[in-house]
Amino acid sequence: MIKVNIVAVGKVKEKYFSEAIEEYSKRLSRFCDFSIIEVAEENYSKVDDAIIQKIKEKEQERIISHLKGYVFATAIEGKKYSSVNFSKKIDKVCASGQGVITFVIGGSYGLSDVVKARADELISFSDMTFPHTFFRAMLTEQVYRAFCILNNVSYHK
């Protein structure tokens, strides 16, 4: 069974997001060994460009050791997939013999260039910006949808 990890910066504080993530995580357990790895988020009261770079570097140090297998880093400049094409991509990665797929979600200021360079692929859900805790729920749902499509489960319409 393939292992699927989401490495995410920060904790989900909103109960409604946590409940959605838990539900899709539970559903995913029939298709893969799914886990979410949270790393600490940096918080500064005042930020400028230099501080943002420092934040990304500190978060990068926490992220990098968790990057295993085929790595999808989420970034606004990444490739956009339809749900069906995303499922095909996951199928292709699974068929390649990769035992692990890792998705990375950055913090409030995104991911460092080092994390993006380490990724096998950058993906994006939209040109819009989403709160990273909300995006975690969206990504978990889309991974579940992809596995439903691959396994002919009638979730995807």
What CATH number is given to the structural domain containing 14?
A: 3.40.1280.10
**Given CA atoms 29, 33, 34, 39 in this order, what sign does their dihedral have?**
positive
In this prediction, residue 156 has a pLDDT band, given cuts at 50, 70 and 90, of low
What's the pLDDT at 22?
97
Residue 157 lies in a domain: no
The mean of the pLDDT values for the chain is: 95
**Could you identify the residue written with the tokens 């797929």?**
101
Which of these, 101, 83, 120, lies nearest to 34 by C-alpha position? 101
How far apart CA 45 and CA 10 sit, in angstroms, is 16
23, part of any domain: yes
155 within some domain = no
Q: What is the pLDDT of residue 36?
A: 98
156 is a domain residue: no
Beta-carbon-side half-sphere exposure of residue 32 (alpha carbons within 13 Å): 28
Interval 115-148: pLDDT, tens = 999 999 999 999 998 888 999 999 999 999 999 9
* Residue 62 burial class via C-beta count within 10 angstroms: exposed 0-12, middle 13-18, buried 19 and up: middle
Does a structural domain hold residue 63? Answer: yes
Domain span holding position 7? 3-150
Please give the tally of structural domains in the chain.
1
Predicted pLDDT of residue 118: 98
